[in-house]
Chains A and B, each alone.
Chain A
Amino acid sequence: AQSVTQLGSHVSVSEGALVLLRCNYSSSVPPYLFWYVQYPNQGLQLLLKYTTGATLVKGINGFEAEFKKSETSFHLTKPSAHMSDAAEYFCAVRNPKAAGNKLTFGGGTRVLVKP
């Protein structure tokens, strides 16, 4: 079984400050990892994903994440927060060797951006 833990259900940052959202996973095999963003009353939009290859992954809207196998982590960062980054962020994991292509989501982190 796999699981995802997002540390901090709420994160508050000032506009222009670093955004850091933490994600740790548990998986029996090297997983595929994803970060999604959800705006109020909307579905999920993919920010970035890691499957294989380079461990530092760049996504949309200036976000990036680094896969660290030794730490079983996939933390999401953005150097400078913008007001439009206020949203809910979900980390997700998939076992590429399992049938069904199911995603397992973390509990989510709500980002508040202060002017």
Chain B
Amino acid sequence: GAVVSQHPSWVICKSGTSVKIECRSLDFQATTMFWYRQFPKQSLMLMATSNEGSKATYEQGVEKDKFLINHASLTLSTLTVTSAHPEDSSFYICSAHQVAGNPSAYEQYFGPGTRLTVT
């Protein structure tokens, strides 16, 4: 159980275009999903927290108009990179937090990641 999927697994796009990445919790409901960015050989950097039915909370330094996040249901969050540029090329990973359960059993379940290359 607790599987998170991402689509696409990789994408190449031209500079100036927009790209949408989907994050789905397949067998559980997630009120909260997180979006991370990971540069080669570096750690994960939290970009934003996505809450179902409300606006996302962005980390300091992350442009909300460039990285649009929508969490329309308890199983789906999307990240849209608008007007992509080569510097947006990165590995994007989402995670989902299960709704119910003992808080001490808290766990984020991670998706397999999406590699974005902007040419």
Contacts and interface: CB of A to CB of B under 8 A. Distances in A.
Interface of A: 32, 36, 41-46, 49, 51-52, 90, 94, 96, 100-103, 105-108, 110
Interface residues of B, number: 26
B43 A90 contact: yes
Interface residues of A, dominant DSSP: loop
A102 B46 contact: yes
Contacts of A45: 110
Given A32-B106, A100-B57, A107-B42, 4 more contacts: A43-B95, A43-B113, A44-B93, A49-B107
Q: Chain B interface mostly helix, strand, loop or mixed?
A: strand
Contacts of B104: 32, 51-52, 96
Contacts of A107: 42-43
B103 A105 contact: no
